[in-house]
Amino acid sequence: MSRRRWIADETNGNAAALTGDHAVHLSRVLRAKVGQEFDISTGTSVRRGTITAISDQRVEFALGAELSTTPAPRLTLALAIFKFDRMEWAIEKCIELGVTRIVPVIARRTDPHLARAASKRRERWQRLALQASEQSRRAALPEIAAPIQLKDLGSAGASPAAARKIVLAESENETFLRDALHSCPYDITLAIGPEGGWTSDELKWFRDSGWTAASLGDTILRAETAAIVATGLALDALR
């Protein structure tokens, strides 16, 4: 049976620790004991970790041998903001699948109330990312970027210059996502629209900015379904 993997909140040489609610879950809910072994991700590697001390808000580990891991493909998901309950489900599942970065995007059809509240949800999204990463035994914690306007998606860091950039568009009827993914580089950025899809002006912006439009087929999917399906197809193409 595989050992459970944790992403350390603190690392210092051959020591690491979980803190706060993260530690509470291991110490109180799972009733961990000194001497138990787990896999610990330090952000740069995964190492064997042995619990050396437990308190209410802190679990400390001595780090041992480095464990082999498979390099993860680099997939950025530019996810237009939609209803938070469904968006959070999409974030969780896409991270379990292997997304390395999620950029929440304020699109034309994003509800204004959701757009205003999005920045305050980032901390919650980051907690979901941590939980999903540990659940799926990720070697590193994916990034949840701060929400941005669509026009800022092309700024430094929002979409890597070397990435193949693909926007999913319901109106696209010539190129399917599986075709757009053919012979992709190691970096892919996928843009998923909000409820109601991208507007014509937004699609023009994507085209003018060098993005490839692609379709998932004839059926119209909910935003969260499209995000999960597209993520699975993209990661399969990258592996």
The pTM (predicted TM-score) of the whole model is 0.87
pLDDT of residue 162: 58
- What is the pLDDT, as a whole number, of residue 161? 56
Extract the tokens encoding 12.
């210092």
Q: What is the pLDDT along the chain (239 residues), one digit of tens a residue?
A: 577 889 999 999 999 999 998 999 888 888 889 999 999 999 888 999 999 999 888 999 999 999 988 777 889 999 999 999 999 999 999 999 999 999 999 999 999 999 999 999 999 999 999 999 999 988 889 999 999 999 998 764 555 555 789 999 988 888 999 889 887 677 899 999 999 999 999 999 999 999 999 999 888 899 999 999 999 999 988 77
pLDDT, tens digit (0-9, with 9 covering 90-100), for 27-43: 888 888 999 999 999 98
DSSP letters, 8-59, are -SEEETTEEEEEHHHHHIIIIIS---TT-EEEEE-SS-EEEEEEEEEETTEE
In this structure, which CATH number among 3.30.565.10, 3.40.50.1820, 3.40.1280.10, 3.20.20.10 belongs to the domain 74-238? Answer: 3.40.1280.10
Query: Residue 74: beta bridge partners?
Result: 187
Give the number of C-alpha atoms closer than 13 A to the C-alpha of residue 235, restricted to the C-beta side.
20
Element spanning 145, H or E:
none
The CATH 2.40.240.20 portion of the chain extends over 5-67
Q: Which CATH superfamily is domain 5-67 in?
A: Hypothetical PUA domain-like; domain 1 (2.40.240.20)
Residue 24 is encoded by which pair of tokens? 């509470």
